[in-house]
Structure formats: C-alpha cells, structure tokens
Structure 1
Amino acid sequence: MKIALMETTMKQLLALLIPGLFLTACAQQSVGMANPASVYCKEKGGSLTIKKTEKGEIGICKLPDGTEIEEWELYRRDHPQQL
C-alpha cells in the first residue's frame, strides 16, 4: 500500500515539475535594444543623466551648448512624425 501511495505522489510531483521546466525553458530573453532617444542625445554630442520626478524617472540630455532637454522631447523635436 505504501508503494502505491509513493508512486502516486511521485507521478503528481512529476506532473507539476515537467510543465514548469518547459515554461522556464521557453522564457524570452531581453532584446537589448537601445533607447533611440538616448542614442540620439549621444549622437548630438550630449550627455545623459537620469532625473527622478514624482511620476518616475526621465532622461535629461545636456547638449554641448549647455542646453538641458528631456531626451524624448529632443528626439521628437528633431524627428517630426510624418503622416
């Protein structure tokens, strides 16, 4: 009787572990794509700093002339969306 109980317990354990192993094997890796606004800031000769605000963190680009501008604002300004 004990052997049958152990077999059932082992089968249940395997039934839980095997799908878990498959799920972890299928986990996606991060792409590692660079933020286009940050890249553009660097291309313009700027330096990037992160500023903490009440709403979260934002990237500030300090351009060679001393101008400080939010990185996405700079990117959108210089790359207007064309329809």
Structure 2
Amino acid sequence: MKRLCLFLPLALVGCASDHSEPPATGLANPAAVWCLEQGGTRVPVQSPQGVRTECRLSDGQTIDEWELWRRDHPSTH
C-alpha cells in the first residue's frame, strides 16, 4: 500500500501534458480571404511604413488587398 501511495502521484505527474501553445483565434483576415476568393494571389510589398500586402488578380491588376475589400464591400466600412 505504501508503494502505491508513492507510485500513484509520480504516475499522475508523468501523465501531465504541457499546454504552452497559445490557442488559435480562428479569425481570418477578411481582405486576404476576399483576395483569394477572387482568384488573386497575395503579394507582400515592402514600403517605408512597413510591409503591406497587395492582391494580384487573375487579369494582372495589382491592388492593395484592403482597397480591394473596401471597393467590393462599400457598406461594411
């Protein structure tokens, strides 16, 4: 019985899992999703203000992905 009392806590500690990964939010960037749904390709562009993403559409047009989103969704902004 003494061995069981010593072994049981050690066994339980050994089975503990480490949950160090932060949980995923599951929220997608609507402008990025819209670009891809339109058949576009997302292209990162370095600017003096930082990195922004443009959408290269199938017709060759390149537009900032948020400009594309606002253009096609005028009632959401």
Is TM (by shorter chain) over 0.5?
A: yes
TM-score by length of 2: 0.65
SS at match of 1:64: coil
Q: Specify every segment of 5 or more residues in structure 2 that has no aligned partner in the other structure, as ranges.
A: 1-18
Quote how far apart the aligned CAs of 1:72 are: 0.1
Aligned residue-pair number: 58
Q: Name the % identity.
A: 44
* TM-score relative to the length of structure 1: 0.61
Divergent runs of 4+, >6 A: none
Deviation of 1:65 (Å)? 0.2
After superposition, the CA RMSD in angstroms is 2.1
Aligned with 2:74 (options 57, 65, 80): 80
Work out which of the two has the higher radius of gyration on C-alpha atoms and give 1 or 2. Answer: 1
Tell which deviates more after alignment, 30-39 or 56-65. Answer: 30-39
Task: Name 2:35's counterpart in structure 1.
Answer: 41
